C-alpha cells in the first residue's frame, strides 16, 4: 500500500471521525443483521437437525408391530407386539414396551407449550430398566402413579414448569390435569430428534394409546452379553416374519438424524433468503454513505492528484479506508449480532418456531462468514466511490465548492436497462418452476426468484433515480412555492444542482417503502382472502375449540366428548366433530418422494348444514374418500378409482367417491372421510373443532360447563384462529423486515446528515448573504420532501410489482396485488414523517452554521 497512503488514511480517520462514525454505524448495523441471520440459521439447523440425542441410546434392537412407514422414521408402526413374548426370547437381557401419542401440553393458563423447533410433544412410557433407559433425572423423581409425569428439560423450561407444578395434557379422547414429578434430559440434551417428551407410567400410556393389556406399538430390547445387535435382529426377524419389523436401534437413530438433517437444511434455506435482504439493504446503505464521504473530500483528493498522486494510488487509498472501516465494523457487527440474534429468536418463538434450546454458535461459519461479509460489503460499496475518486481532476482543487458533474443520461439508461433485463431471467425461471412444480412446493423457489428479480429492479431504479430528482424536485417546490417564497426557489436550485445527493437518500427510503408495501399487501390479501373464504365455506355460527393454542397459534386438539355435550344444547340444529390425521399414498404411486396429505373426518349426516364445500362432495360411507381437486390433479386420480393409503392403523384401501374444493384451506383442505373410515385410519385422530349450527353462545357454554379447556368462538373468530398456521411464515418475516427497514431509515438519516456536513461552506455563505436560519431549515426540509415523494413512488412500484409477479407466477388467490386506496396516503404520510424526522437534526445543524465556518470548511 505504501506508507504515505497509510498516513493519509490515518489522518482522514483522525480528522473526520464524526462523519466516519455515521458510516461505521451503518456498516455495523448491516453486519449485525447478517451475523444475527447466520446465528439464527445455524441455531435453527442445530435445533431441528443437530441433536444427536435419542431416546433409543440404551437399546440395541427395536421390534415394531406390523410395518413402518419407510418415509417417516418418526411414525409409529401399524401393528402390535407383546412385551412378555419378546422378553422371554433367547439373547434378550432386558425389554421395555413403548408407544407414542401426540399430545398438547399446556400451562395452567391454557397457553400451549411449544415443542423445540417444529418438533412434536409426545407422550411416552417411562423406562425404569437402567440398561435400556436414556432418561436421566435432573430434578425430582420418576412418575409412579397415574396422573404423574416427568418432562424433558426443554418442555419444562418453555412452560416454566418445576417439580410439583400441575399442567394440562390434551389427549385424543380426553383432557386431564397431571402433576410434574421430575425433569429429565436425554444424553445431556434438552430435547430429542422427534421433539419434546412427556413421560408417564407405562400403564397410563398404554391405556391412552388404546392398546390391549400386554400389547405395545414397539418393544425395546437389550442384547445379552456376547450377543450382538445385528445377530439378535436377524434371529428375531426370522422368527417373527411379517408380523413385526425388527431393526437395530442404531439404524433407527441414523434414519431419524437423516430426516431431521433435511428439515434443518430447509430452515437454513429460508433464513438465508431472509438474510439476503439484510445483505442487500446493508450494501445499499454503506454504498450511499461511503459515496457521500468521497464526494465531500473531492477537493482534498484533487489536491493529492495535483501534488503527484496517481489515480491508481487514490483508488487504493479509498479501498484501504474501506478495508479499515470494514474490519472495525465487522468486529462490532459480529458482537452486536449476538443480542440481535436473541431478539430474532424471541420473535420467532412467539410465532411457534422455538430454537432457544440451542446454544450460541462460535465456529468459523458463525463468526468468520459475517466478518468476511462485512469486509466484502464495504469493499463492494467503496468500489464505485473509488472509481469516482480516481476520476477527480486536479483542477477540482481550485473550486470553492464541490460541484457534481453533469449527469450523462445514456450510460445510466443503458446500465438500468441491463439490470431490468437481468431481472427478467429470474422471473422466467419462476414461471418455469411454477408450471412444473405442483401445489405449495412451488412457493419457496418462486418466492426466491421474485426476490432476486426485485433486488435487481431496485438497483435499476436506484441507477435511474438521479434523472427523476430534477423534475420531481421542481414539482414539489413549485407546489409549495406560494407558501415558502424565496426559500422554495433556493431549495429548487440546490435540488436540481445535486441530484446524486438526493438520489442517495431516496434509494434508502425506496427500499423501506418497498418492504412495507410488499408486506402490507401480502398481509392484507391473505387475511382478507381467509375471511372471505371462511364466510363462504362455514355455514355454522359457532365452533367449539380448545382454549390452548398450538405452536402455530391455531386452536390445539380438544377431547371428543365435547361433541356429544353440545349436540343436545337448546336450539342446536346440527353439529359436526372435525378430526384430522395425516396419511401416505401407497398406491397408485409415482417415483420420487412419498406423497403425504391430510385427511379430515366429519359426520356425514348434517355436514352440509355446517359446511358448504365447493363441488358438493357426496355423502361418504365407510371405505370411501373424497379428495380435493388439487390432490386429484397433482396425482392424476379419477373418481371411482381405488387407492391405498397408510395411516397410523396400517394400510387401508379406499374408493374415491367424489371430488370437492375447500377454498378456505381450513376445514377439509385435502381429503374427507366418514368417522368410521377415520377410526380405521387412525383411532386416535386429533379432534380440532366441533362446528355447531343453531343455539346461542351462552347455551353452548352452559352445555360445556363441566368440560375444562374449551371455548365457544363465532364464525369469524374461528376462521381467524384456524388460519394462523397458514399465516405463520408471513408473520415470521416481520422481524427481519422490521430490522431491515430500520437499517434503511438509518441509512437515509445518515446520508442526509452527511450531506449537511458536505455543504457547510454553502450554508455559511448563504447566511453571509442574508439568508435566515428559518430559510436554511426550509431548504433542507424541501429536500426531505423531494426524498419522501421520490422514495414513496419508486418503493410503491417495486412493492406492488413484486406482489403482482408473485401472484402471476403462483396463481394463488391469496396473493392479490390490489392495494386499498388508503395505502397510498398512509405510505406517503409515513415516508414524509420519516424524511422530516431524519432531516430535523441536520436542518437545525445547517441553520446553526456560523458565517466564519464557511471560510474554514473544505
Question: How do residues 89-135 score in pLDDT, each as one tens digit?
Answer: 888 899 999 998 888 888 777 667 777 666 678 899 999 988 998 89
Q: Is 679 helix (H, G, I), strand (E, B) or coil?
A: helix
pLDDT tens digits for 264-279?
556 666 666 666 776 7
Could you tell me whether strands 642-647 and 650-660 are parallel, antiparallel, or unpaired per DSSP bridges? antiparallel
CB 799 within 8 A of CB 516: yes
The answer for residues whose C-beta is within 8 angstroms of residue 687's C-beta and 6 or more apart is: 172, 557, 558, 559, 560, 562, 563, 577, 578, 579
Whether pLDDT at 148 is above 90: yes
Lookup result for grid cell 430435547: 191
- The more confidently predicted of residues 765 and 137 is 137
Whether pLDDT at 442 is above 70: no
Whether pLDDT at 830 is above 50: yes
pTM: 0.71
Q: Which of 135, 141, 149, 133 is nearest to 204 (CA)?
A: 149
Q: Is 710 helix (H, G, I), strand (E, B) or coil?
A: strand
The answer for residues whose C-beta is within 8 angstroms of residue 206's C-beta and 6 or more apart is: 97, 99, 125, 213, 215, 216
Residue 719: predicted pLDDT: 86
Q: Which of 397-406, 518-527, 613-622 has the highest mean pLDDT?
A: 613-622
Whether pLDDT at 7 is above 70: no
Could you tell me whether strands 710-714 and 61-65 are parallel, antiparallel, or unpaired per DSSP bridges? unpaired
pLDDT tens digits for 492-545?
777 777 777 777 778 777 887 888 888 888 888 888 888 888 888 998 999 988
Identify the sign of the CA torsion 131, 136, 141, 145: negative
Distance separating alpha carbons of residues 51 and 283, to the nearest angstrom = 35
pLDDT tens digits for 684-720?
888 888 999 988 888 888 888 877 778 888 888 888 8
Q: How confident is the model over 403-419, as a mean pLDDT?
A: 74
pLDDT tens digits for 37-82?
788 877 776 666 545 678 888 899 999 988 887 767 777 787 889 9
Between helix 443-484 and helix 499-537 the angle, nearest 10°, is 120
Q: Can you name the residues that pair with 596 across neighbouring β-strands?
A: 584
The answer for residues whose C-beta is within 8 angstroms of residue 574's C-beta and 6 or more apart is: 540, 606, 609, 610, 692, 693, 694
Residue 495: predicted pLDDT: 75
The answer for residues whose C-beta is within 8 angstroms of residue 494's C-beta and 6 or more apart is: 759, 762, 779, 783
Q: How confident is the model over 286-306, as a mean pLDDT?
A: 70
Query: Per mean pLDDT, which range of 428-442, 570-584, 833-847 is the poorest?
Result: 428-442
- The more confidently predicted of residues 10 and 435 is 10
Going along 85-193, which residue ranges are E strands? 92-98, 101-102, 104-106, 120-125, 135-140, 148-152, 166-170, 175-186
Residue 566: predicted pLDDT: 86
Whether pLDDT at 403 is above 60: no
Lookup result for grid cell 477537493: 299
Could you tell me whether strands 81-82 and 120-125 are parallel, antiparallel, or unpaired per DSSP bridges? unpaired
Q: How does residue 376 score in pLDDT terms, banded at 50, 70 and 90?
A: confident
Whether pLDDT at 602 is above 70: yes
Residue 156: predicted pLDDT: 87
Please count the CA atoms within 13 angstroms of the CA of 511 that sit on its side-chain side: 33
Question: Rounded mean pLDDT of the chain?
Answer: 79
Q: Is 77 helix (H, G, I), strand (E, B) or coil?
A: coil
Distance separating alpha carbons of residues 490 and 242, to the nearest angstrom = 90
pLDDT tens digits for 196-210?
889 999 999 999 888
Whether pLDDT at 643 is above 80: yes
CA distances from 791 to 242, 280, 501, 647, 802 (A): 69, 17, 13, 54, 16
Q: Which of 849, 735, 756, 761 is nearest to 40 (CA)?
A: 735
Whether pLDDT at 287 is above 80: no
pLDDT tens digits for 167-206?
888 787 777 889 999 999 888 877 777 778 899 999 999 9
**Phi-psi category of 327—alpha, beta or left, where left has phi over 0 and alpha has psi -120 to 50?**
alpha
Q: How confident is the model over 422-445, as a mean pLDDT?
A: 66
Amino acid at each position: 500500500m505504501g506508507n504515505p497512503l497509510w498516513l493519509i488514511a490515518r489522518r482522514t480517520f483522525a480528522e473526520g471521525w464524526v462523519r466516519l462514525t455515521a458510516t461505521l454505524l451503518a456498516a455495523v448495523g448491516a453486519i449485525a443483521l447478517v451475523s444475527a441471520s447466520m446465528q439464527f440459521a445455524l441455531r435453527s439447523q442445530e435445533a431441528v437437525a443437530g441433536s444427536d440425542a435419542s431416546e433409543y441410546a440404551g437399546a440395541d434392537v427395536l421390534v415394531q408391530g406390523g410395518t413402518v412407514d419407510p418415509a417417516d422414521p418418526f411414525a409409529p408402526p401399524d401393528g402390535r407386539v407383546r412385551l412378555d413374548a419378546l422378553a422371554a426370547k433367547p439373547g434378550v437381557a432386558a425389554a421395555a414396551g413403548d408407544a407414542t401419542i401426540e399430545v398438547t401440553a399446556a400451562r395452567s393458563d391454557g397457553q400451549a407449550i411449544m415443542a423445540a423447533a417444529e418438533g412434536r410433544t409426545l407422550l411416552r412410557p417411562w423406562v425404569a430398566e437402567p440398561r435400556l433407559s436414556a432418561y436421566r433425572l435432573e430434578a425430582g423423581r420418576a412418575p409412579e402413579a397415574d396422573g404423574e409425569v416427568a418432562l424433558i428439560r426443554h418442555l419444562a423450561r418453555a412452560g416454566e414448569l418445576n417439580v410439583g407444578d400441575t399442567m394440562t395434557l390434551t389427549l385424543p379422547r380426553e383432557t386431564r390435569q397431571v402433576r410434574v414429578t421430575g425433569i429429565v434430559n436425554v444424553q445431556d440434551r434438552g430435547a430429542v430428534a422427534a421433539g419434546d417428551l412427556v413421560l408417564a407410567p407405562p400403564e397410563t400410556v398404554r391405556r391412552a394409546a388404546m392398546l390391549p393389556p400386554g400389547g405395545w406399538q414397539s418393544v425395546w430390547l437389550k442384547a445379552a452379553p456376547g450377543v450382538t445387535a445385528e445377530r439378535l435382529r436377524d434371529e428375531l426377524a426370522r422368527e417373527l416374519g411379517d408380523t413385526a419389523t425388527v431393526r437395530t436401534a442404531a439404524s433407527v437413530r441414523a434414519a431419524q438424524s437423516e430426516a431431521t438433517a433435511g428439515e434443518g437444511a430447509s430452515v437454513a434455506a429460508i433464513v438465508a433468503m431472509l438474510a439476503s435482504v439484510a445483505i442487500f439493504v446493508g450494501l445499499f446503505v454503506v454504498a450511499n454513505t461511503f459515496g457521500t464521504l468521497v464526494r465531500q473530500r473531492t477537493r482534498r483528493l484533487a489536491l493529492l492528484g495535483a501534488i503527484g498522486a496517481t489515480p491508481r494510488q487514490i483508488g487504493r487509498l479509498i479501498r484501504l479506508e474501506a478495508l479499515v472501516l470494514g474490519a472495525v465494523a465487522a468486529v462490532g457487527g459480529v458482537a452486536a449480532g449476538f443480542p440481535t440474534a436473541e431478539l430474532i429468536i424471541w420473535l420467532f418463538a412467539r410465532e411457534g418456531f422455538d430454537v432457544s434450546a440451542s446454544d450460541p454458535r462460535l465456529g468459523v461459519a458463525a463468526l468468520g462468514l459475517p466478518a468476511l461479509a462485512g469486509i466484502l460489503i464495504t469493499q463492494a460499496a467503496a468500489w464505485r466511490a473509488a472509481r469516482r475518486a480516481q476520476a477527480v481532476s486536479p483542477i477540482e482543487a481550485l473550486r470553492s465548492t464541490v460541484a457534481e458533474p453533469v449527469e450523462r443520461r445514456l450510460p445510466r439508461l443503458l446500465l438500468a436497462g441491463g439490470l431490468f433485463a437481468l431481472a427478467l431471467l429470474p422471473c422466467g425461471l419462476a414461471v418455469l418452476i411454477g408450471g412444473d412444480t405442483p401445489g405449495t412446493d412451488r412457493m419457496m423457489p418462486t418466492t426466491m426468484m421474485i426476490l432476486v428479480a426485485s433486488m435487481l429492479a431496485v438497483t435499476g431504479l436506484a441507477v435511474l433515480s438521479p434523472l427523476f430528482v430534477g423534475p420531481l424536485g421542481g414539482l414539489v417546490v413549485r407546489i409549495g412555492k406560494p407558501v415558502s417564497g424565496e426559500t422554495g426557489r433556493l431549495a429548487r436550485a440546490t435540488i436540481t444542482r445535486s441530484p446524486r445527493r438526493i438520489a442517495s437518500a431516496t434509494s434508502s427510503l425506496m427500499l423501506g417503502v418497498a418492504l412495507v408495501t410488499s408486506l402490507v399487501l401480502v398481509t392484507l390479501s391473505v387475511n382478507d382472502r381467509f375471511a372471505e373464504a371462511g364466510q363462504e365455506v362455514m355455514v355454522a355460527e359457532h365452533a367449539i375449540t380448545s382454549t390452548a393454542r398450538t405452536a402455530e397459534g391455531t386452536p390445539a386438539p380438544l377431547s371428543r366428548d365435547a361433541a356429544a355435550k353440545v349436540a343436545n344444547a337448546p336450539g342446536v340444529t346440527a353439529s359436526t366433530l372435525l378430526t384430522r390425521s395425516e396419511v401416505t399414498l401407497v398406491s397408485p404411486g409415482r417415483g420420487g418422494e412419498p406423497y403425504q396429505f391430510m385427511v379430515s373426518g366429519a359426520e356425514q349426516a348434517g355436514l352440509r348444514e355446517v359446511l358448504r364445500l365447493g363441488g358438493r362432495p357426496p355423502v361418504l360411507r365407510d371405505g370411501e374418500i373424497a379428495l380435493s381437486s388439487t390432490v386429484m390433479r397433482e396425482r392424476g386420480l379419477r373418481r371411482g378409482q381405488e387407492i391405498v393409503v397408510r395411516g397410523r392403523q396400517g394400510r387401508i384401501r379406499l374408493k374415491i367417491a367424489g371430488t370437492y374444493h375447500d377454498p378456505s384451506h381450513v376445514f377439509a383442505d385435502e381429503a374427507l372421510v366418514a368417522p368410521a373410515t377415520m377410526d380405521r385410519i387412525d383411532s386416535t385422530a386429533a379432534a380440532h373443532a366441533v362446528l355447531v349450527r343453531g343455539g346461542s353462545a351462552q347455551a353452548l357454554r352452559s352445555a360445556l360447563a363441566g368440560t375444562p379447556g374449551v371455548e365457544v368462538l363465532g364464525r369469524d373468530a374461528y376462521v381467524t384462529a384456524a388460519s394462523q398456521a397458514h399465516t405463520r411464515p408471513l408473520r415470521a418475516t416481520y422481524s427481519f423486515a422490521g430490522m431491515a427497514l430500520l437499517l434503511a431509515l438509518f441509512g437515509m438519516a445518515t446520508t442526509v446528515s452527511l450531506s449537511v456536513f458536505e455543504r457547510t461552506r454553502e450554508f455559511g455563505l448563504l447566511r453571509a448573504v442574508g439568508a435566515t436560519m428559518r430559510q436554511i431549515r426550509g431548504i433542507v426540509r424541501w429536500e426531505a420532501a423531494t426524498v419522501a415523494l421520490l422514495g414513496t413512488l419508486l418503493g410503491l412500484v417495486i412493492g406492488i410489482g413484486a406482489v403482482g409477479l408473485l401472484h402471476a407466477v403462483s396463481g394463488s388467490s391469496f396473493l392479490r396485488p390490489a392495494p386499498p386506496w388508503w395505502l397510498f396516503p398512509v405510505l406517503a404520510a409515513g415516508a414524509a414523517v420519516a424524511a422530516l424526522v431524519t432531516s430535523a437534526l441536520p436542518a437545525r445543524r445547517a441553520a446553526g452554521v456560523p458565517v466564519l465556518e464557511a471560510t474554514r470548511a473544505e
